[in-house]
Amino acid sequence: MESNDFFVIKALEDGVNVIGLTRGTDTRFHHSEKLDENEVMIAQFTEHTSAVKVRGKAVIQTSHGEMYND
């Protein structure tokens, strides 16, 4: 089953999009969150969310490490 890992996204510019994609056979967007510069989102992978797409300049921390998205 899913591990419910947390991840952190810090926006480095205005208008960073954090998009949640559904778990299961049907993979689709179910939520889009817009972050402005210096806003931080702390979220989890859940029963409903198996993937996340980040669009924009941001620092992303997961259990697999930290990355900088340009």
Residue 42 backbone class (left: φ over 0; alpha: ψ -120 to 50; beta: rest): beta
The binding site for ligand TRP (CB under 6 A) comprises: 18, 20, 31, 33, 43-44, 46, 48-49, 52
Closest distance to ligand TRP from the beta carbon of 33 (Å): 6
Q: Which is nearer to ligand TRP, 13 or 53 (CB)?
A: 53
Closest to ligand TRP by CB, 5 vs 13, is 5
State how far the Cα of 24 lies from the Cα of 16, in Å rounded to an integer: 26
